[in-house]
Structure 1
Amino acid sequence: MTFPLVGEHLALDLLNTRTAQGDLVDGPAGLAAWLAEQAGRLSAVDRVGEGEVAAARAVREAARPALDAVRRGERPPAEALRVLNAALAAAPSHRVLAWSEGAGLGAAVRRPADPAGRLAAELADAVAELLTDPRVGQVRECEAHDCVLLFLPAHPRRRWCVAGVCGNRARVARYYARHKEETA
């Protein structure tokens, strides 16, 4: 399974698991594949089951209306904030200091919770980070007519999620429309 646009902000990567073609994390196999793509960005989940799928999807479904509202400068829906805050509260984090020969003192973040709760909290934390980022108003939807993906543009003129896919389709469509008019 391939996931579009992996490497955006983690919250956007999560939101982009719901595409125009459907839900890419609608079961344990889909979520496990997505988590593998996110290696190093989230705590490892040994076994992905229906609980983890439900937790990830709940955070994603709360994140979308919250992001839509914040992008417009409006108050997010109370239910979306309730779901996100519940996920954060279910697995609070704390730092654990540890000494490692050669690397020195380090601080690792720990979230003592069941795997589904930990996953939901980490995803909700990423959503909270995006919602409070000053650049949240710059999050864009792909301009391709059949694409629903979101991205945070590095360049202000970026219009498509992936220029080589959606951008090319838009350019080809314009080309054919132009030539169809010329031959008509």
Structure 2
Amino acid sequence: MMFPLTGEPLALDLLNTRPAGAGDLIAGPEGLAAWLAVQEGRLGPAGKVGPAEVAAVHAVREAASAALTAARRGEQPPAGALHALNEASAGAPAHRALAWTPDTGLTAAPHRTGTPARRLAAQLADAAADLLTDPRVQDVRECEGADCVLLFLPAHPRRRWCVASTCGNRARVARYYARHTS
């Protein structure tokens, strides 16, 4: 399964799992497992994915979407969205576990308690909190491509499309066609 525009902040990658015309890419355990495999470098190994994990991720995605919509406008996010994100984050508290390996020496890796669904929801809620508290949250943009709803955090202020070679190219072709058919 292909996921559009991965590599943005994790919370945006989560929100982008509902692209226009493609439905919900993480509607079931198979789709969520595939998305988690793509995100393994940021979330760690997925483990078994079932309906509980899907429900937990959907709840975080809905709350993050509502909070981000308000934050992008400089408005107060809905209290229910913030409550849901806080509950998800608190559902699997994190602490650092110290470990020694001969290859890397002393490490302090985050460790979460709770069920797999709660741990996953907490990681994603923390990613949403990171994005929502980032000073650049109002810079998050929706792609200007026709029928595209993907979100991105532009590294360049003139960026207009999620992927220039896809949505940007479609816009350029449409402008060219409009100029030459009139």
Calculate the TM-score normalised by the size of structure 1: 0.96
Deviation at 1:102, TM superposition (A): 3.2
**What are the within-5 Å matches in structure 2 for residues 30-49 of structure 1?**
30-49=31-50
Q: Which runs of 5+ in 2 are unaligned?
A: none
| Count of paired positions | 181
Number of the residue aligned with 1:7: 7
Number of the residue aligned with 1:99: 100
**What are the within-5 Å matches in structure 2 for residues 132-171 of structure 1?**
132-171=133-172
Alpha-carbon deviations, 1:76-114, whole Å to 9, x = none? 001101110110010010001112113211101000111
Deviation at 1:39, TM superposition (A): 1.4
Deviation at 1:71, TM superposition (A): 1.2
Asked whether the equivalents of residues 43 and 119 of structure 1 are also in contact (C-alpha less than 8 Å), the reply is: no
The one-letter amino acid paired with 2:142 is E
Identical positions, percent: 70
Which aligned runs of 4 or more in structure 1 are off by greater than 4 angstroms? Answer: none
Q: Distance in 2 between matches of 1:45 and 1:55?
A: 14
Q: Distance in 1 between matches of 2:97 and 2:50?
A: 28
Q: Does 1:17 align with 2:17?
A: yes
Asked whether the equivalents of residues 20 and 149 of structure 2 are also in contact (C-alpha less than 8 Å), the reply is: yes
Calculate the TM-score normalised by the size of structure 2: 0.97
Asked whether the equivalents of residues 52 and 119 of structure 1 are also in contact (C-alpha less than 8 Å), the reply is: yes
Number of the residue aligned with 1:50: 51
Q: Which runs of 5+ in 1 are unaligned?
A: none
**Structure 1 SS opposite 2:144:** coil
